[in-house]
Amino acid sequence: MGAMKCAHSAPGGNMTVKLKDLKVLPPDHKIYKEPFKTYFVNSLEDYKKQREKKEGLKNLFLEKLDCKKSEEEIKQQLISILKKNGWKIKK
């Protein structure tokens, strides 16, 4: 199962994603070919702090996706996570 990609409006602003814009990335997408960054951490909070410091990116939220589910189930799980974290979904 591939990673999912979505677009949102202005960073830190109104977080809205159009349902039709959610896509499962193909196996040959660059996300699978780039080296993974690893962090030695003691907790999830420690990971977030290290990542923000090293990459200069602020985590809006970090949720686990179950990759053993079907593509449609993952899409629904992603939608649920986005809604839970304040995103609005347009159909």
The pLDDT value recorded for residue 60 is 78
Dihedral, 42, 46, 48, 49 alpha carbons, nearest 10:
-150
The pLDDT value recorded for residue 15 is 67
The pLDDT value recorded for residue 17 is 74
Mean pLDDT of 9-22: 64
pTM: 0.47
Domain range for 51: 4-90
For the ranges 38-42, 65-69, 86-90, the maximum mean pLDDT occurs at 86-90
Mean pLDDT of 67-73: 86
Structural domains in the chain (count): 1
The pLDDT value recorded for residue 1 is 39
Mean pLDDT of 33-55: 77
